[in-house]
Amino acid sequence: MRLFSMVLLVGCACPVLGDTVLYYDNGGPANSNAFVSDPSFPIQYGDNFPADEPVSVTCVEWWGAYKNGDPLPAGADEFSLQFYEMVDGEPLVTPIAVVDAGSVARDATGGRLPFGNDVFRYQAEFSPVALPAGEYLLSIVNDTLAFPSDWLWAWHDSSTDGGVWFRHEPADSWRGGSGGVELAFRIFIPEPGTLGMLLVSAAVFCRRR
Ligand SMILES: [Ca+2]
Ligand SMILES: [Ca+2]
């Protein structure tokens, strides 16, 4: 059994540091639709990605919007990035790593969903999430219990990579995986040769807290 790990958030924007490279591109937003992925609903969505070899994820970029057409919520975002191992094509119930990202970098893209919701780009950079070779689910949720608008994870609109999964409560099994739609996100890893320095930096950061 793998240990559940809480991950240290070390920054807020992947490309700014200039030492991360794109590892997996599930696609950007098509501005066509979105799923609520929000514990205050409650519902959460996840999307699959492969690790053909062991990989350390340090940054995720994703896109979304807020329900009811509000351009911005009246409260702070509370994002959580959750990594789940997939066995025989299905995500396990318990995550192997969770990044409590909170309020991350948020930029208006200028795009809108057909219902008028502004689409935003988000980025979170964090201490390395080490994943052995395998198949994984990335679930991104924003807990908007503090304000009325629920958060929406934007569609990428391609059915070429396994579809998406969802569930209502953290103890539920996941459902889905039948294709039809993909969610908008990209995964970044350190440039070759920089992971060791990143680990040392994270350790120093921890000691100073
Ligand atoms: Ca809400
Ligand atoms: Ca997928």
| Ligand approaching nearest to the C-alpha of 49 | 2
Give 42's pLDDT tier (boundaries 50, 70, 90).
very high
* pLDDT at 138 (0 to 100): 98
Q: Which ligand is nearest to the CA of 47?
A: 2
Ligand 1 mean position to 42 CA, how many Å?
Answer: 9
Query: Ligand 2 centroid to 162 CA: how many Å?
Result: 4
Residue 68, pLDDT score:
73
Q: 200: CA distance to ligand 2 center in Å?
A: 33
**Residue-averaged pLDDT of the chain:** 85
Any idea which residue has 């909170």 for tokens?
Answer: 102
Q: What is the pLDDT of residue 75?
A: 79
Bigger pLDDT: 134 or 199?
134
Ligand 2 centroid to 52 CA: how many Å? 16
How deeply is 158 buried, as exposed, middle or buried, from its count of CB atoms within 10 A (0-12, 13-18, 19+)? Answer: middle
Evaluate whether 152 touches 136 at the Cβ level (below 8 Å): no
